[in-house]
Amino acid sequence: MTKELSNKVINIKPSGIRKFFDIVSEMEDVISLGVGEPDFDTPWHIRDEGIYALEKGRTFYTSNSGLKDLRIEISNYIKRTQNIDYNPDNEIIVTIGGSEAIDIGLRSLVNDGDEVIIPQPSYVSYEPCTILANAKPVIINLKAENEFRLKPNELLNAITDKTKLLILPYPNNPTGAIMEKKDLEDIAQIIKEKDIYVMSDEIYSELSYKEKHVSIASISSMKERTILINGFSKSYAMTGWRLGYACAPKEIIKQMTKIHQFAIMCAPTTSQYAAVEALKNGDKDVEEMKRAYNQRRRFLIQSFKDLNIECFEPYGAFYVFPCIKEFNMTSEEFATRLLEEEKVAAIPGSAFGKSGEYHLRISYAYSLESLKIAMARFKKFVDRLRANM
Amino acid sequence: MREELLAIIEKNSRIDLKDVAKMLGKEEIDIVNELASLEKEGVICGYHTLIDWEKTSIEKVTALIEVRVTPQRGQGFDKIAERIYNYPEVRSVYLISGGYDLLVIIEEKTLREISNFVSDKLSTLDSVLSTATHFILKKYKDHGTILTKKHDDEREIITP
> Which of the residues B4, B156, B158, B159 would you substitute to probe the A interface, choosing the one with the greatest number of A C-beta atoms within 10 Å?
B158
Residues A269 and A299 in one domain: no
**Nearest beta carbon to residue A298 from set B15, B25, B160:** B25
Residues A77 and A170 in one domain: yes
Task: Please list every residue in chain B whose beta carbon sits closer than 8 Å to the beta carbon of residue A36.
Answer: 159-160
**Nearest beta carbon to residue A15 from set B25, B156, B160:** B160
Q: Which helix (H) or strand (E) element contains residue B62?
A: strand B61-69
Residues A225 and A202 in one domain: yes
pLDDT computed for residue A389 by the predictor: 84
CB contact under 8 A, B22 and A298: yes
pLDDT computed for residue A27 by the predictor: 87
pLDDT computed for residue B72 by the predictor: 79
CB contact under 8 A, B4 and A347: no
* Bridging pattern class, strands B90-95 and B102-108: antiparallel
Q: Please report whether residue A223 resides in a domain.
A: yes
Residues A270 and A199 in one domain: yes
Which band of pLDDT confidence, cut at 50, 70 and 90, is reported for residue A325? very high
B8 to chain A, any CB pair closer than 8 A? The answer is yes
Domain end call among A282, A301, A317: A282
pLDDT computed for residue A304 by the predictor: 97
CB contact under 8 A, B4 and A17: no
Residues A337 and A199 in one domain: no
Give how many domains chain A has, as a whole number.
2
pLDDT digits (tens, 9 = 90+) for B79-105: 999 999 999 999 999 999 999 999 999
Taken in order A99, A105, A108, A112, is the CA torsion positive or negative? negative
pLDDT computed for residue B157 by the predictor: 86
pLDDT computed for residue A23 by the predictor: 81
Residues A67 and A176 in one domain: yes
| Chain A residues in contact with chain B using a Cβ-Cβ cutoff of 8 Å | 15, 17, 20-21, 24-25, 30, 32, 34-37, 39, 123-125, 173, 239, 291, 295-296, 298-299, 302-303, 345, 347, 366, 368, 372
CATH of the domain at A243: 3.40.640.10
Q: Please report whether residue A212 resides in a domain.
A: yes
Q: Please report whether residue A54 resides in a domain.
A: no
Q: Please report whether residue A319 resides in a domain.
A: yes
CB contact under 8 A, B155 and A25: no
Q: Please report whether residue A295 resides in a domain.
A: yes
pLDDT computed for residue A16 by the predictor: 74
Domain end call among A265, A282, A299: A282
Q: Which helix (H) or strand (E) element contains residue B114?
A: helix B111-116
Q: Please report whether residue A51 resides in a domain.
A: no
The ipTM estimated for the assembled molecules is: 0.86
B24 to chain A, any CB pair closer than 8 A? The answer is yes
* Bridging pattern class, strands A92-95 and A347-348: unpaired
Range of the domain at A170: 60-282
pLDDT computed for residue A282 by the predictor: 97
pLDDT digits (tens, 9 = 90+) for A161-196: 999 999 999 999 999 999 999 999 999 999 999 999
Q: With left for phi above 0 and alpha for psi between -120 and 50, is residue A279 left, alpha or beta?
A: alpha
CB contact under 8 A, B160 and A124: yes
Residues A268 and A322 in one domain: no
* Bridging pattern class, strands A226-231 and A244-247: antiparallel
B158 to chain A, any CB pair closer than 8 A? The answer is yes
Which band of pLDDT confidence, cut at 50, 70 and 90, is reported for residue A278? very high
**Nearest beta carbon to residue B158 from set A291, A299, A345:** A345
Q: How many CB pairs under 8 A join A and B?
A: 58
CATH of the domain at A319: 3.90.1150.10
Which band of pLDDT confidence, cut at 50, 70 and 90, is reported for residue A96? very high
Residues A275 and A290 in one domain: no
pLDDT computed for residue A88 by the predictor: 98
Q: Which residues of chain B have pLDDT under 50?
A: none
B22 within 8 A of A298, measured Cβ to Cβ: yes
Task: Please list every residue in chain B whose beta carbon sits closer than 8 Å to the beta carbon of residue A375.
Answer: none
**Nearest beta carbon to residue B157 from set A39, A302, A345:** A345
Residues A266 and A326 in one domain: no
Q: Over chain A, what HEC string results?
A: CCCCCCHHHHCCCCCHHHHHHHHHCCCCCCEECCCCCCCCCCCHHHHHHHHHHHHCCCCCCCCCCCCHHHHHHHHHHHHHHHCCCCCCCCCEEEECHHHHHHHHHHHHHCCCCCEEEEEECCCCCHHHHHHHCCCEEEEEECCHHHCCCCCHHHHHHHCCCCEEEEEECCCCCCCCCCCCHHHHHHHHHHHHHHCCEEEEECCCCCCECCCCCCCHHHCCCCHHHEEEEEECCCCCCCHHHCCEEEECCHHHHHHHHHHHHHHCCCCCHHHHHHHHHHHHHCHHHHHHHHHHHHHHHHHHHHHHHHCCCCCCCCCECCEECCECHHHCCCHHHHHHHHHHHHCEECEEHHHHCHHHCCEEEEECCCCHHHHHHHHHHHHHHHHHHHHCC
Q: What is the mean pLDDT of residues A100-119?
A: 98
Q: Please report whether residue A55 resides in a domain.
A: no
pLDDT computed for residue B159 by the predictor: 87
pLDDT computed for residue B138 by the predictor: 92
Cis peptide before A121 (omega within 30 of 0): yes
Q: Please report whether residue A198 resides in a domain.
A: yes
Q: Which residue of A has its CA nearest to B18?
A: A299
Residues A254 and A290 in one domain: no
Residues A121 and A218 in one domain: yes
Residues A31 and A145 in one domain: no
Task: Please list every residue in chain B whose beta carbon sits closer than 8 Å to the beta carbon of residue A299.
Answer: 19, 22-23
> A63 or B145: whose pLDDT is higher?
A63
